[in-house]
Structure 1
């Protein structure tokens, strides 16, 4: 193949006449181009680091300081109070110059010193301002004087035109909650879930822990919080994700689906090419830090650390623990089609390929009729099952030769693209069509997604798209941000021709896709087949239902003066109680990105007030009483969510205390029992409209269907939801077929009934008020 020949920069042979050297100018040129791109990135990185290092001040402010200080000095005033003279006398090199030159250089040094001190002061003051979270607990539109003053100071000292990582150094550290507060909050969270005898036992264990071992563990944790950037995130990534030996398919990876109400093209290669192009543009913006950081209420920045590993990242299996490997750059993507793997270059002549050029390469893959070699079609099953067999296989069968070269091509790719062969689509007349969509995104066949890669873009023959993402490198909002950016810009920035093909004209003939080569020995083939069977069994055990609830959405909920998220959580609790006849420990994911390197915290959304509302609903209490109980439960939920976001959550603190207990070799009965409690209802809200690109008022049909994940407990549910516009909420419900007491469709129907019953409360109360008003 031409590509293989061009991979060798030069060759030589020894003859009687001497050494004959043959240079391959094309390959040498490619080496040169690669070096140029690398150096450009380094220079850009240095420039960004300098910009972020002085933020919230501007680099031009140095010129302002130098000009002012020089002007004052020239006018005969010494604003330094003698410091300039001291610098002139004692700084090496400067004191060797004449008086006038030495004074000039000393003045410049003083101006630089004054500038640096001012910057450090402003950054420290901004960090202090960002530790204030009282604004989150105040009613919308009724801000206190303290919060108004805080807002004014933030706008003064918050800087202008920030880059992606400009706020990182100004973000506060995640605080360690007090041990007593965590114990109290924990007991409050389980009081309504435990029988009196067990609850009293837990109170006793909590008291013993707080008065004994807990104090010692807390001291270690506080020490870590002083030393580390974030006292939770490294342990969370290591012990919750990377040390897990269970399959990451279904159990850890999550998925996202398309904007369902529109489909810009039905051409597979064209849709894939436009999305790949936009994602590479997004990667460039992340690398150059041109992507705008997310700022809440246009005031409070969120941590941007998780964006760094979105591309060029792979999870490498290990015997005891996996490793996340991030490559600084990648000039290719890996494409999977009909069980065959291809390396597709994305740069040519020092530029990213245009969509129409990528489209041509992908079309060549689609038109290629070659069959996969034995074992190749099911190779990805190795990434779908338990980690230890995959780690051993990687060492035994992929450490040398063509297998290593081909595996490197996948693992070092920017991301993986799977060009599927079976159509998936949204059909409003066939609710099961969305279920098939979810199954395909969550696990596919178990062999057509590279689950170790940071994400796999999936494109179906009819133009529908979705993704499957590995979880350890970042949380779902980061992928949701890129996904929203991509499916918006592919239409409004790139667009398609009338025939559905990519816009533009081909300037250069793009390089051919390179078919990856494999040579699997018999033991490897046997292992791949074993993994394929195991992956298939895991897939068959998943019961998944995607429900589009369009009876009403946040538009109506806001008229009830209740938080939409709290309202949905109450509906989920009501549905679960009707399903199981009892309450359960409920997990709702919340972010802690108000702090540097923050990831997530748990909101224990099944509270005493929630239970009171659900029981009153089942007892058919008076509508006014139900509304009162609902608003009280919603208020409690909102406060728990605020606590979680502001570092006062329970579960990450308990988790870290448990990790410390293992390090010091002292087991705690209290922590062991707390961390073994199952989350039978695991929930998460997918964020929407993180960018200013998606205007749902102007384009209401662009609502995204969101995404979901697998069940956390064998006898529980995983429920993800996205509030898509004013009148639509998507629910992604998962559980296990092997559990006789759960059912995704059954739970979906109960959610719909809960929504209908909760709306009826307000409708009936309004009708009663109107009747009373008329009679009066």
Structure 2
């Protein structure tokens, strides 16, 4: 694979003064004049410049040494890992994002549930098998170094280092006396973990040469069906006293999870520890959810993909053991790894541990496997693909109903001396400490999930094509302006907004922070609500705002931002100068905490293969906004801790529509911009736009003093 042999250019460290100038430019529109004057004085003070110069020089030396000792690295790499791995709170809703794939039109519809060779499980099993077969092909390309390199428009090759951490990786909690988690990657991993109703199974999917053992979906279907049947059989025989949701431990804070793992490590019986090591080293986790979501339950589906659902059954008479009062999909997860999640009606998506990979890397995986799984339908018609297992079926659907996975040794056909191709169940040894720990973990994740709400928007009036042809601007820049309009319409102010820019054009590049609030964006938003402004004004200021956003985006993509450089220098101070130099004043100024308090945390992962994409808010009073821009539509998933989320999303939709009105109508001079402008309501002319009236919640034009 070319990307493994030819390294990209190193991620640049910008000149210190350029970084400070950008910092001041990004913070200015978020402050009032008095605050900004104070910040400028602090940032440009001799003390601040001198201290930062020392840290900047040390960072340059650090990067120079890295280039010699570890050429595939970047100056931000270790600091960035630490920022994730030192995070102690639960990764659920705080770290892991989700991607939801579009439905597969080749495997039937929800109306088909109950039909097919696997009864009510047919759609789920067929979708899962197709996706897993495609994933195995993807893994093979990575390990055989034949994965085609990512490229940007213009042909520049992107750094491919993150793909090595996509599979076989796990976030390991701190050991005793350790400060941070570890990102562990097993490059020899050949097996997957399957979760169904909180029960764990595993089997090998790659041989010793990293060739897929299962080459067609049909070969894999028997394994998945046998797992489901095995769990259902145990349920019928009331064996659930031993069926505890061990995956719920991964929803705990890192410190609690660390203590539990340490307890398991020192237990006299090594069974649980061996199970953990098997899960840690697995390629990825397949979560088969025993729940279906209808098309009108998109928000509940987004919640299930991101954090799992939490349903509490308080009728104890229906419970076999106390743990069973909790029955949400949050119990059918392992959040420390890449997870493929498939619902009972074949809705599919990924939930991924974010430390080693960014959204662009997982998006490539999602795009490739979705395309391959769809094309496999046509491939089955036009090609006669050799089936190495054609004469070695594991079992028929009827046989699987009576198949006991705990006593299957006679059926355990090994196609390679050390490969296990029949599913094996992980049995857990539970004592009072683990049982009570599971109970408390389950109640805490239920509490956490209940604190958040999710709202989805599928805007189908227009998409990227319309934005480029009619509005004449970048679709991403335009969408960012819409978020500003909606937030201002709701709260009358501007807040710190974050959007990641990919820096993978450089070796081991991760992201840089695009700051969407600019003087130009503020001017555009204010003029949109100015009753004296014309649509020509609004169009002009939209163009200027989008142009500025695109300029900042290009700079950030070239590694010429401000956030990562300033963060790296603070890490340098903490690592080498904490006891000898005072902290530069910029880091104690309110402007630093302001820029790092991302009330609007946004991210664009646009590809037609995605139905939705989302993540949790990064501040207690913030919104998490994941969006997908297609040619003719835009999908948005917004999360918050019960702010005005539904109202905010409705304002996003109306803001999209309002911009179409700004470009599409011919206003008459006598028209009022909003209802209520004339002294005599009976003489009132028609409004220019019902959408703008909606944006102000039916109120008259208002003018607030904006200080941020």
Which residue of structure 2 lines up, in the alignment, with residue 447 of structure 1? 331
1:192 corresponding residue in structure 2: 29
Q: Are 1:175 and 1:225, in contact at CA under 8 Å, matched by a contact in 2? A: no
Hey, what does 1:100 align to over in structure 2? Answer: none
Aligned 8 A contact 1:183 1:210 in 2 = no
Q: Note closer, same or farther for the CA distance 1:349–1:624 as it changes in structure 2 (3 Å cut).
A: closer
Match in the other structure for 2:417: none
Distance across 2 between alignment mates of 1:492 and 1:261: 11
Out of 547, 567, 590, the position equivalent to 2:501 is: 590
Return the match for 1:755 from 656, 662, 673: 656
Q: 2:188 & 2:104 partners in 1: Cα distance?
A: 35
Match of 2:448 among 506, 530, 538: 538
- Give 1:704 shift: 2.2
Q: Distance in 2 between matches of 1:685 and 1:261?
A: 23
Of 137, 140, 155, the residue aligned with 1:299 is 155
> Any idea what the Cα deviations from partners look like across 1:135-171, whole Å, max 9, x if unmatched?
xxxxxxxxxxxxxxxxxxxxxxxxxxxx343442xx2
Aligned partner of residue 9 in structure 2, secondary structure: coil
Residue deviations 1:213-248, cap 9 Å, x none?
A: 111111111112222245443234333200100111
**Can you list the C-alpha shifts for 1:260-313, whole angstroms capped at 9, x where unaligned?**
484634521121111111101100001112111012235211111111111111
Q: In the TM superposition, what is the alpha-carbon distance from 1:331 to its structure 2 partner?
A: 2.1
The equivalent position to 2:278 in structure 1, one of 409, 432, 441, is 409
Quickly say closer, same or farther: Cα 1:577–1:503, change in 2 above 3 A: farther
> Does residue 258 of structure 2 align to residue 353 of structure 1?
no
Partner Cα separation in structure 1 for residue 487 and residue 78 of structure 2:
32
Report the Cα distance in structure 2 between the residues aligned to 1:207 and 1:315, rounded to whole angstroms. Answer: 41
Q: How does 1:698-737 map to 2 (within 5 A)?
A: 703-724=609-630, 726-737=631-642
TM normalised by structure 1 equals 0.71
Matched, 1:243 2:149: no
| Structure with more helix by fraction | 1
Match of 2:51 in 1: 213
Contact 1:548 1:730 in 2 (8 A): yes
- Deviation at residue 762 of structure 1 after TM alignment: 0.9
Change (3 A) 1:672 1:370: farther
* Structure 2 residue 207 is the aligned partner of structure 1 residue 340: no
What is aligned with 2:680?
none
1:508 corresponds, among 386, 392, 397, to 392
Aligned-pair CA distance for 1:586: 0.6
C-alpha contact 2:76 2:564 (8 A) present in aligned 1: no
Counterpart in 2 of 1:745? 646
Q: How far has the Cα of 1:705 moved from its partner?
A: 1.1
Alignment pair present for 1:316 and 2:172? yes
Structure 1 segment 559-598 matched on structure 2, within 5 A: 559=469, 560-598=471-509
SS of residue in 2 equivalent to 1:314: strand
* Cα distance in 2 between the residues matched to 1:496 and 1:275: 15
Output the CA distance in 2 between the equivalents of 1:704 and 1:734.
Answer: 18
* CA distance 1:610–1:261, shift in 2 (3 Å): farther
CA 1:349–1:313: 2 relative to 1, 3 Å: closer
Number of aligned residue pairs: 578
* Equivalent residue in structure 2 for 1:258, among 94, 101, 123: 101
Q: 1:391 to 1:512 in 2, by over 3 A?
A: same
Gaps of 5+ in 2: 68-72, 110-122, 309-328, 395-420, 670-708
Farther-moved stretch of structure 1 (476-485 vs 659-668): 659-668
CA distance in 1, matches of 2:81, 2:609: 35
Task: Report the alpha carbon displacement of residue 675 of structure 1 after superposing the two structures with TM.
Answer: 4.3
In 1, Cα distance between the equivalents of 2:613 and 2:27?
A: 29
Q: 1:473-484 counterparts in 2 under 5 A?
A: 473-484=356-367
Farther off after superposition, 273-282 or 393-402: 393-402
Q: 1:166 to 1:728 in 2, by over 3 A?
A: farther
Q: Which runs of 5+ in 1 are unaligned?
A: 1-47, 49-162, 689-701, 769-776
- Structure 2: distance between partners of 1:760 and 1:410: 54
The answer for the alignment partner of 2:126 in structure 1 is: 270
Deviation at 1:210? 4.2
**In structure 2, how many angstroms separate the alpha carbons of the residues matched to 1:707 and 1:743?**
20
* Contact 2:366 2:609 survives alignment (8 Å): no
Go from structure 1 to structure 2 and tell me whether the alpha carbon gap of 1:330 and 1:390 turns closer, same or farther (over 3 Å shift): same
Q: CA RMSD in A?
A: 2.3
| Local SS of the residue matching 1:601 | strand
Q: Is the 8 A contact 1:711 1:717 kept in 2?
A: yes
Specify which of 249, 252, 256 is matched with residue 389 of structure 1. Answer: 256
Aligned-partner Cα distance in 2 for 1:328–1:672: 43
2: CA distance, partners of 1:235 / 1:401:
33
TM-score by length of 2: 0.78
Q: Which residue of 2 aligns with 1:17?
A: none
In 2 relative to 1, CA 236–527 (structure 1 residues): closer, same or farther, beyond 3 Å? same
1:752 Cα deviation from its structure 2 partner: 0.6
CA drift of 1:198 comes to 1.5
SS of equivalent to 1:191: helix
**In 2, Cα distance between equivalents of 1:494 and 1:627:** 47
**Which structure has the bigger radius of gyration?**
1
Separation in structure 2 between the aligned mates of residue 271 and residue 261 of structure 1, nearest angstrom: 7
- Compute the displacement of 1:727 (Å): 1.1
* Mapping for residues 685-700 of structure 1, pairs under 5 Å: 685-688=604-607
